[in-house]
Chains A and B, each alone.
Chain A
């Protein structure tokens, strides 16, 4: 180990893997945005809620898989309730109003989850160690965490599954129709409300997966809701309506953030990952306001 080149690759790879974790959160945003035009800031709070519910159940002696099943059920109910109570009364309101309402939802969910389960931090154990893979280190001299690889594999399965769901199933096609044009979809008889409920349920599921992986990595605590802040620059880069954009955006942000932190950080005092992704996304947006994969809209007047 030790050559600058292999160190660089190590940095890039660990950045890409961290980026996958960002993509995972971003995915939940994209699902809801595509179906209902809402930038759901509360996705981070949903991730926290899922992780906290799961870990609290396990700590109370519930079986691992049963805990997953219960949490999934809770998340689906939560998603559907959110759609019903919070968003349906606001149909056809400006996007910015919908965004603000999800900030309110974020606070509500934070209070609710901690009100139910308490505010103390928890550890979450999935059985996979956050350690470098020995055989890879032996052969290439690069240290890559096996937990990161596991998380990436899960994310890959999730993305493939969602892609198949959208491409191959009737619900998926209906959802793409809804994403294109609400009114037209309604006119050809697609049950809009049912589709929204399904999407919120799926977003709840994605939040659960992200909550388990992020919770295992950072512990389950209040700050977990801030994973949303990691996903937002990814979305600005990749566009709010593209699953591919969420993945590619996550990888770009993850890798460049790590590279910047390692090679630039020391000269400016470190800690630049709090703002670097935002500035990167911002500079990118100035040249391409519709994002990486977003569609260009022509203002008709």
Chain B
């Protein structure tokens, strides 16, 4: 009863095509945004902001980027971290070499750089498919990292390719506290998530899904495969690039190319598998899950082992984490391939009737 749509009539197509047609959804998202923008900065301490919320938001943005390519357009990529790296290092260079460039402009330009490289590495998708393509995206992962490490100009000839993000400001307000960094990250992620949501429910999104579900049929109804696939690579890489830029400027501060290794690409892939392939919401749920799990393990395991009188070294916990990640991937792919987002949807359908059985 709580989540009831009875009495809410949609009399026009415009009403039917709202981003959140149900009143409850609109209220919920409004409350969530108010909480995220106003309550959290007032309440949360530095640890919460810097160690939990900022990495969560950035991971969600990267997962959203991968989800556009893999979940919506059906092209599996194992090179996500490489495009994040491009975003981070491109931002560094824009800020370094273009005096007075607004940081948001630098983010956008860096995202465009990632998108261009994404198009280049997306070209093979026109001839090869499935896991051949997935393996081919590893070329992007390894080549991009190599290039950043070897081309001194990219890192301004710093030792071993480590860069330190410059201090940034927006309209003269310095972004130097965890709170300011959180608000900047949140704003960027919220805007990009809204744009992504609009995109996937319009013509472009339908073209992506058509190519994913059956490419021959898609081309027969007039969807150009080449343009559609390359657009998916470009948009996806743009999102990953901006995520990488935030990773450097609002989270890590000091970045080495190795931070964007294959491990990170896999982690982001895990986020969309667990959260929900082909779902904007799923990108957020999956990111929350993967970011929170290690922290939860480190909180939960030591007290249990203490109570049981055995000492569990930190190495075991990190191995346990690997095992749980692996097992969850296997579990979700077998039991609920559409991930947490699908579980959420099922829960909502149940709530429409709750507490009555019918």
Do the two chains touch directly in the complex (Cβ atoms below 8 Å apart)? yes
Contacts of A39 in B (CB 8 A): 131
B325 CB within 8 Å of chain A = yes
| Residue on B nearest A233 in the bound complex, by CB | B135
Query: CA separation between A119 and B145, bound complex, in Å?
Result: 26
Contacts of B322 in A (CB 8 A): 107-108, 110-111, 114
| Most chain A CB atoms below 10 A, which of B131, B315, B321, B328 | B131
User: Interface with B: A62-70, A126-134, A241-249, A268-276, which one?
Assistant: A268-276
Query: CA separation between A301 and B220, bound complex, in Å?
Result: 11
Task: Determine whether the beta carbon of B128 is less than 8 Å from that of A275.
Answer: no
Contacts of B145 in A (CB 8 A): 274
Task: Determine whether the beta carbon of B131 is less than 8 Å from that of A95.
Answer: yes
Task: Determine whether the beta carbon of A279 is less than 8 Å from that of B146.
Answer: no
B20 to chain A minimum Cβ distance, whole angstroms, is 30
Task: Tell me the number of A-to-B contacts counted with CB atoms below 8 Å.
Answer: 130
Task: Determine whether the beta carbon of A105 is less than 8 Å from that of B132.
Answer: no
Task: Determine whether the beta carbon of B134 is less than 8 Å from that of A96.
Answer: yes
Contacts of B76 in A (CB 8 A): 96, 99-100
Query: CA separation between A268 and B316, bound complex, in Å?
Result: 41
B110 to chain A minimum Cβ distance, whole angstroms, is 22
Task: Determine whether the beta carbon of A232 is less than 8 Å from that of B135.
Answer: yes
B354 CB within 8 Å of chain A = no
| Residue on B nearest A272 in the bound complex, by CB | B146
Query: CA separation between A269 and B76, bound complex, in Å?
Result: 31
Task: Determine whether the beta carbon of B139 is less than 8 Å from that of A101.
Answer: no
Task: Determine whether the beta carbon of A268 is less than 8 Å from that of B269.
Answer: no
Task: Determine whether the beta carbon of B136 is less than 8 Å from that of A90.
Answer: no
Task: Determine whether the beta carbon of A101 is less than 8 Å from that of B142.
Answer: no
Contacts of A301 in B (CB 8 A): 216
A171 CB within 8 Å of chain B = no
Task: Determine whether the beta carbon of A99 is less than 8 Å from that of B131.
Answer: yes
B299 CB within 8 Å of chain A = no
| Residue on A nearest B324 in the bound complex, by CB | A111
B329 CB within 8 Å of chain A = yes
Task: Determine whether the beta carbon of B269 is less than 8 Å from that of A279.
Answer: no
* Choice from B269, B320, B334 contacting A115 with Cβ under 8 Å: B320
Given A100-B76, A101-B329, A108-B326, also A119-B143 (CB < 8 A): no
Given A107-B322, A232-B138, A278-B136, also A101-B333 (CB < 8 A): yes
Contacts of B315 in A (CB 8 A): 114, 118-119
In this complex, how many residues of chain A approach chain B with their Cβ under 8 Å: the count is: 47
Query: CA separation between A39 and B270, bound complex, in Å?
Result: 18
Query: CA separation between A54 and B325, bound complex, in Å?
Result: 25
Task: Determine whether the beta carbon of A278 is less than 8 Å from that of B143.
Answer: yes
B128 to chain A minimum Cβ distance, whole angstroms, is 5
Contacts of B130 in A (CB 8 A): 94-96, 99
Task: Determine whether the beta carbon of B146 is less than 8 Å from that of A275.
Answer: yes
Task: Determine whether the beta carbon of A289 is less than 8 Å from that of B132.
Answer: yes
Query: CA separation between A106 and B329, bound complex, in Å?
Result: 10
B30 CB within 8 Å of chain A = no
B174 CB within 8 Å of chain A = no
A112 CB within 8 Å of chain B = yes
A25 to chain B minimum Cβ distance, whole angstroms, is 14
Task: Determine whether the beta carbon of A100 is less than 8 Å from that of B320.
Answer: no
Given A100-B76, A108-B327, also A274-B146 (CB < 8 A): yes
New A-B pairs, 16, CB < 8 Å, besides A110-B319, A275-B139, A282-B139: A94-B130, A96-B134, A100-B76, A100-B273, A104-B329, A104-B330, A108-B325, A111-B322, A111-B323, A111-B325, A236-B132, A236-B135, A272-B146, A274-B145, A278-B142, A279-B143
A interface residue numbers (CB < 8 A to B) = 39, 85-86, 89-90, 94-97, 99-101, 103-112, 114-115, 118-119, 229, 232-233, 235-236, 268-272, 274-275, 278-279, 281-282, 285-286, 289, 299, 301
Please, could you name 6 A-B residue pairs with CB atoms under 8 Å apart, sorted by A?
A: A95-B130, A108-B327, A271-B149, A279-B139, A286-B124, A286-B127
